[in-house]
Amino acid sequence: MAGVTDRISQRRIVSVSAAPYDGHPAPAMLDSLAACGARHVEPAFIVGYTDPFDDSAFTAAAASAYAGWLAASGLACHALSAHIDLGRSDAVEVFRPRMDFARRLGAAVINTNAALRGHRAAFAANIVALARHAEAIGIAIGLENPGDGRDSLFNVAADGLAIVTGLGRTAVGLNYDPANTASHRPALADPVADAILALPACAHLHLKDVRRSAAGWTFTPLGEGDLRLAPLLAALRKRPDLPVGIELPLRFHRDPAAQPVRRPQRLTLAEIEPAIRRSLAYVAAHGLG
């Protein structure tokens, strides 16, 4: 999308989310990712995905510490996930420090949810204020479709396209995630086709795979779940400007009602690293690495 992707290198940026390392300290997570062959990390601050955190995680001092860990690992940060409902009454106050934190790490995109449909009016006001701040600091807001089944302003691609087109701000795009659509709108025949429809408005794209069973939805390494990702990867090959993030929230699954269920114990590195390596290899084999 013009204005967002204009600032992004023509070389494909592939990030790997910190989400599978939920429960591990950041320095150890970064070193492990580097050992797996990643070049970019997408730090993840997502309620339900990761250890509890508060606003102290986004101070200037916290950013300085994280930047030091990045430098020590050799990884870069292009995108960061810090999801909230942007229709909250305090969304501007809460989200602006997250944007500043992301920018201090070098991120060009910060991903978040839009809002529940009932929060439409507050979202409309908040997103304008946040877009202005994004433009001022040189970052793009990537609105991500949810996976929990609750009616949102952004349920499917058409909703997201309407938001971005109606807003008309160059610093706001989409961060589409087809695996979220699989659980969010299970009656939709093809989440991957919906992802392709969203691409013109995307500032970033999440790649993850998921397998459905009677127990709900379980996340898998790329290419090992139910999603037929090949058409999306083919479409992405025509968009070398569009950065992607491999997201493997392996510590939790979604129950049959699409609600997140988090394992009590963190995964071991022996469980995490093979999944990351296989996913990176999958992306590279499809010409996106």
pLDDT of 243 over the 70 cut: yes
For 247, the token pair is 């997201």
Rg (CA), the chain: 17
pLDDT of 3 over the 50 cut: no
Query: With contact defined as beta carbons under 8 Å apart, do 278 and 47 qualify?
Result: no
In the chain the first and final C-alpha atoms are separated, in Å, by 21
Q: Categorize the per-residue pLDDT at 139 as very low, low, confident or very high, splitting at 50, 70 and 90.
A: very high
**Residue 285 three-state SS:** helix
Q: Map out the domains of the chain with their CATH numbers.
A: 5-285 (3.20.20.150)
d(CA 101, CA 60) in angstroms, rounded, equals 7
| Closest alpha carbon to 222 in 238, 236, 206 | 206
State the average pLDDT over residues 115-139: 98
d(CA 170, CA 3) in angstroms, rounded, equals 5
Enumerate residues 6+ apart whose C-beta is below 8 A from 15. Answer: 38, 40, 41, 42, 77, 78, 79, 243, 244, 245, 246
Q: pLDDT of 60-82, one tens digit each?
A: 999 999 999 999 999 999 999 99
d(CA 64, CA 70) in angstroms, rounded, equals 10
- Label the pairing between strands 244-246 and 202-207: parallel
Which pLDDT score is estimated for 4? 44
